[in-house]
Amino acid sequence: MERIELGHKSFLTFDKLREVGVLHFTSTKQGWGNDGLARFTGDAPEVYGSFRLELAHAFKLSPEQLIFPRQTHSNQVQVVCQPTETANLEETDALITNQPNICLCVQTADCVPILLFDPVQQVIAAVHAGWRGTVSKLVSKTIHEMQRSFDTFPEDIIAGIGPSIHLHVYEVGKDVIRAVRENFTEHRNLLKPAMADGKAYFDLWAANKALMGEAGIPEDQVEIMGLCTYSHESLFYSARRDGVATGRMVSGIMLGE
């Protein structure tokens, strides 16, 4: 991982993705204007327009190059072939493209942002995986769609798991525990007992890495940034710590010409 400063803003990058030369980033909470609670989608441009403009300026892009889905904790994946209005990406939590100069973005505040890059076929993806997206195996579905649409071989994919809530503070209840047990054969490695009855701690990082391994991505091609959004208050927004009205980090990836 490397931290870069662009203007007054701090961004984080993955070593493995940086080594292969693909533009990507994860923002922090530092340096945003307006009220400082950065948001990148919403019901009106007044909610997100200024923040998208700030983000675009940081990377010398136009706001139209930034593609955001309207995330709903779904398991829906969409292939993006050209810049498109957010309205065309309703109820979507993963994006894929093989087109240059389109920056695929997801926003998070405890959920897991995942960036994928196939350097052979030149295909990228951005995934938003909370517990619902994780147990519905959204990253697996995204990899399958990369295979189906663009002939990606999973063994070629380089992946990054960005800042999100860590096992040691992510206590979940019976519904989540049941869903994990139903969808992961190795659920005992992903759920750790909590002191409270009927509660457990869920390892989102390990779960998504396991899904990528099952899909065929080699373990040494998956990089976990290893930063907890809940614990690093000076760097990250956290919905569990601060409430759902807090800001959002954005993770993006883009192919060059």
Cα-to-chain-centroid distance, residue 59: 18
Rg (CA), the chain: 17
Mean pLDDT of 18-33: 95
Supply the pLDDT for residue 85: 58
155-202 pLDDT, tens digit each:
999 999 999 999 999 999 999 999 999 999 999 999 999 888 889 999
Q: DSSP states of 20-76 as a string?
A: TT-EEEEE-STT--TTS------SSHHHHHHHHHHHHHHTT--GGGEE--B--S---
Band of residue 83 on the pLDDT scale cut at 50, 70, 90: confident
Structure tokens at 192: 């750790």
Long-range contacts of 69-73 (CB under 8 A, 24+ apart): 69/41, 69/93, 69/94, 69/95, 69/106, 69/128, 70/41, 71/41, 71/106, 71/107, 71/128, 73/111, 73/130, 73/132, 73/133
The rounded mean pLDDT for the chain is 95
pTM above 0.85, yes or no: yes
More confident residue, 212 or 82: 212
Supply the pLDDT for residue 240: 96
In sequence order, which residues have a C-beta less than 8 Å from that of residue 190 and are 6 or more positions away?
A: 180, 184, 202, 203, 206, 207, 210
Contact 114, 160 (CB under 8 A): yes
DSSP-derived 3-state class of residue 110 = coil
Supply the pLDDT for residue 59: 96
Amino acid occupying residue 224 = I
User: Which H or E run contains 225?
Assistant: none
Task: Flag whether pLDDT at 127 surpasses 90.
Answer: yes
In this predicted structure, which of 58-62, 180-184, 191-195, 233-237 has the lowest mean pLDDT? 191-195
Q: Which CATH number fits domain 2-165+204-254: 3.40.1160.10, 3.40.30.10, 3.40.50.2300, 3.60.140.10?
A: 3.60.140.10
Pairing of strands 123-129, 103-108: unpaired
Supply the pLDDT for residue 87: 57
Contact 188, 115 (CB under 8 A): no
